[in-house]
Amino acid sequence: MSQALDEIKIGGLGASRKRVEDSRFIRGKGNYTDDITLPGMLHMEILRSPLAHARIKSIDTSKAWDIPGVHLVLTGEMMATRNLAWMPTLSYDTQAVLATDKVRFQGQEVACVIADDPYIAKDACEAIDVDYEPLPVIVNPRQAVAEGAPVIRDDKESQAGNVIYDWEVGDKAGTDRAFEQADVISKLQLHYPRSHPSPIECCGSIADFNRATSKLTVYMTTQAPHIIRAAVALVAELPEHMIRIISPDIGGGFGNKVPVYPGYVCSILASILLERPVKWIEDKSGNLISTGFARDVYLDGEMALRRDGKILGVRIHTDADHGAFFSDAQPSKFKIGLMHSAFAAYDIPAAHLTARGTYSNKAPGGVAYRCSFRVTEAMFFQERMVQAAADDLGMDQAAFRRMNFVRDEDFPHRTPFGFLLDSGQYAKCLDVGLKAIDYQEFRREQAEARKRGRLLGLGISTMTEPLGAGNSREYDILGIKMFDSADLKVHMTGKAILRTGAKTQGQGHETTWAQIVAHELGIPAEDVVVEEGDTDTAPFGMGTYASRSTPVAGAAVAMVSRKIRAKARRLAAHLLEVSEEDVEWELGRFYVRSAPDRGVTIQECAMAAYSNMPDGMEPGLENTAYYDPPNLTWPFACYIVTVEVDPETGVWDVLKMVAVDDCGVRINPMIVEGQIMGGLTEAYAMANMQFITFDADGNCVGSNYMDYLLPSAWETPGFELHSEVVTPCPHHPIGAKGIGECAAVGGPAAFVNAVLDALSGTGVRNIDMPLLPDRVWEAITYRRDVSGAPPVRSDD
């Protein structure tokens, strides 16, 4: 007779448990970096370059020093005397902390002031006199490789031009053969524009060096606290065990809070020099203009097609603009991230990708903005190309996709770029999406509307993406292997504290990790407190980005719970006075196989671990698990949008959007839906309204929230979500796949495809995002493609 607990009632797997963290957030009781005030704390402000490329002739800080309340003025020259003018980046490059020789992008850090309050520090920054000699500016990869182009990184002896890397992957000869056999070759070129993660909370840090204990504590907005600890140890040459990084509550990260920023380093040095806590909180324009950008990639591809619609091969070339320093985190083996995950959902015999990265006079870019290392660009291009190819063949969009999908019976499937896909039901997801949007009926309405001059369009985006780096064999950052960890301590009363190496920034880990423990141990989720982000207490982990938390840290939570259960089983056998082999487990309880009524709860085992353990057993009920995933997880999504475009103004409105996401087992269905809605909202914003670019002088155009629009509930369309397709991940301990970024990755192509579908027959093949009304109007009026690539005129 089973006495197992009802898993949903205890907040286990599948429970739409309310987010426990929201209890403090909606009361205004969150504890963000800027909420922290330490005794004797000073404030730091940064002076940024107004020019994109200029030699620094001199910096005069004397007037700043004279302002009452100023404690320190730091310049690159002063940093250089401590070997801190430059720092290593996460991609084996170097980055200026404070400029010494030249400024290389508008907004670059030139000096900083530490004062009694931020206003004095800001005034003192304005009193610093910098004499610049302007230099020619580069704002795109074409200019970067042009003959006679100025060398941006002339600080590097080995750097002849502006190329950072030339990289390739795939089978060139096999792909060439596929193109020789093709009936039709479909081509597409586009620019995935620069895009900024724009978390609501900007970056910041409070460094607190205590000379008496030699301990450095840094409160900061980082998505990867342990990596920062290692970086500080290496850059500032401080002993790692004397560094404590604390990431308190974070108001959104989206990849923007992975890199190491000069502000962090300067606040640390200032605290060491002044022996007082130093707080630096970036302002909004500082965040928009100088911190990690994403995308800014030129994509050029062609597809070899058989006339019946079969894809025979794909060639892709990418030119990525990394800005002045190659500083975003990439798995070190893959220079252009996981761009080669493009077309993974399609069964394509041959593929070849070449990638070139270049420097430009822009803030460092290429961060994985809600993205698993360039998969956003990969999936966008894939789905734009698929639409173009189907159109070139005169085939139905859905039929073309279905014909080329990896089929259910073909898993495991090896892609031509070497990824191993283990599970999915792609055609089923598409069918659910088509039914939900009422595909055939819409096509009929679309044709009818055309006759009356109305432009309706339908866009499909179907994609799988690799989430959960790594396995450690292939994935590392700066040589540090990409695994993750969980540490679980069950107290004697059966309550527990769980710590992981991940760091939530709004994703709800405090809620969902406890649900995994509840599922594995039967301890109610409300009895498990989750802590992340403090390197003195959390086990080592690589942090949260690239939707890796559930695939890696989430798996570690399941594995550490299983270790605890194994010990609890021995305790149960002792309490029940039977051998371990005679003990059975059901949720929350061990019982004697031959006498199911005789049992002990997990809470009774916990008490025994501290009060009544068998002879020879180590007391306590705690353990740690480090999890190295055997593979990435591959969620799948089908997004379908219908739009109406106004031919007079170029304005387009979403009529309906449906989303079918298969992320395997859903730990918390409500949180998963929140992740999908958030991602779709960002996708809509990227496709429709987020304009940030550069003019020919390297001025950042759109570096304010009047141009770079953050969507509110007012303009965001409604989304219809579908969850009926569930393909558990075969290697994840609870069958989960990542979900956090799928909608932001796959969504943009659905919107753009829909607008271009509305324009079909006009000869327009591409309009670069954002699809602003003037761009759409230009395409309709002049029947031509519209590029958004920089430089733009500053009045655009």
Residues near ligand CDP (CB under 6 A) are 507-509, 512, 544, 547-550, 554, 663-668, 671-672, 675, 736-740
Closest by CA position to 248, among listed 561, 29, 52:
29
For residues 635 and 464, what is the distance between their CA atoms, to the nearest angstrom? 6
Catalytic residue, from 17, 356, 370, 374: name it.
370
Shorter beta-carbon distance to ligand CDP: residue 102 or 548: 548
Least spacing, CB of residue 678 vs ligand CDP, in Å? 10
Q: Is the peptide bond before 466 cis (omega within 30 degrees of 0)?
A: no
Confirm if 313 and 351 have CB atoms less than 8 A apart.
Answer: yes
Q: Is the peptide bond before 770 cis (omega within 30 degrees of 0)?
A: yes
Least spacing, CB of residue 264 vs ligand CDP, in Å? 22
For residues 543 and 533, what is the distance between their CA atoms, to the nearest angstrom? 9
Note if 125 is an active site residue: no
For residues 326 and 267, what is the distance between their CA atoms, to the nearest angstrom? 22
Shorter beta-carbon distance to ligand CDP: residue 265 or 744: 744
Shorter beta-carbon distance to ligand CDP: residue 298 or 475: 475
Shorter beta-carbon distance to ligand CDP: residue 114 or 745: 745
For residues 364 and 590, what is the distance between their CA atoms, to the nearest angstrom? 55
Place of tokens 């990824």: 419
- For 53-96, the DSSP string reads SEEEEEEE-HHHHHSTTEEEEEEHHHHHHTT-SEEE-TTS-EEE
Least spacing, CB of residue 658 vs ligand CDP, in Å? 20
Instruction: Determine the Cα angle at 425 with ends 303 and 398, to 5°.
Output: 45
Closest by CA position to 251, among listed 31, 432, 36, 407:
31
Show the tokens assigned to 763: 């000869």
Shorter beta-carbon distance to ligand CDP: residue 222 or 360: 222
Show the tokens assigned to 5: 């607990």
Least spacing, CB of residue 523 vs ligand CDP, in Å? 17
Cβ neighbours of residue 158 closer than 8 Å, sequence gap 6 or more: none
3-class secondary-structure state, position 425: coil
3-class secondary-structure state, position 34: helix
What phi and psi values does residue 154 have, to the nearest 5 degrees?
-75, 0
Catalytic residue, from 330, 397, 741, 775: name it.
741
Closest by CA position to 429, among listed 459, 405, 400, 395:
405
Q: Is the peptide bond before 728 cis (omega within 30 degrees of 0)?
A: no
Q: Find the residue with minimal CB distance to ligand CDP.
A: 740
The 8-class DSSP code of residue 17 comes to P
For residues 103 and 49, what is the distance between their CA atoms, to the nearest angstrom? 7
Shorter beta-carbon distance to ligand CDP: residue 678 or 770: 678
Note if 741 is an active site residue: yes
Shorter beta-carbon distance to ligand CDP: residue 259 or 263: 259
For residues 111 and 62, what is the distance between their CA atoms, to the nearest angstrom? 13
Show the tokens assigned to 429: 């997801």
Least spacing, CB of residue 596 vs ligand CDP, in Å? 32
Catalytic residue, from 95, 106, 108, 223: name it.
223
Note if 589 is an active site residue: no
Confirm if 243 and 220 have CB atoms less than 8 A apart.
Answer: no
3-class secondary-structure state, position 461: strand
Shorter beta-carbon distance to ligand CDP: residue 232 or 667: 667
For residues 774 and 769, what is the distance between their CA atoms, to the nearest angstrom? 12
Least spacing, CB of residue 372 vs ligand CDP, in Å? 9
For residues 290 and 692, what is the distance between their CA atoms, to the nearest angstrom? 12
C-alpha distances out from residue 336 to 103, 355, 373, 426, Å: 26, 7, 8, 26
Show the tokens assigned to 344: 């993974």
Count CB-CB contacts under 10 A for residue 6: 10
Shorter beta-carbon distance to ligand CDP: residue 191 or 257: 257
Catalytic residue, from 112, 125, 371, 429: name it.
371
Shorter beta-carbon distance to ligand CDP: residue 16 or 781: 16
Closest by CA position to 397, among listed 470, 347, 457:
457
Rg (CA), the chain: 27
For residues 188 and 196, what is the distance between their CA atoms, to the nearest angstrom? 25
For residues 323 and 262, what is the distance between their CA atoms, to the nearest angstrom? 15
For residues 516 and 556, what is the distance between their CA atoms, to the nearest angstrom? 10
Shorter beta-carbon distance to ligand CDP: residue 261 or 545: 545
Shorter beta-carbon distance to ligand CDP: residue 640 or 672: 672
For residues 348 and 310, what is the distance between their CA atoms, to the nearest angstrom? 9
For residues 600 and 602, what is the distance between their CA atoms, to the nearest angstrom? 7
Place of tokens 């001059």: 453
Least spacing, CB of residue 742 vs ligand CDP, in Å? 8
Shorter beta-carbon distance to ligand CDP: residue 221 or 404: 221
Looking at the annotation, which residues are catalytic? 223, 370-371, 741
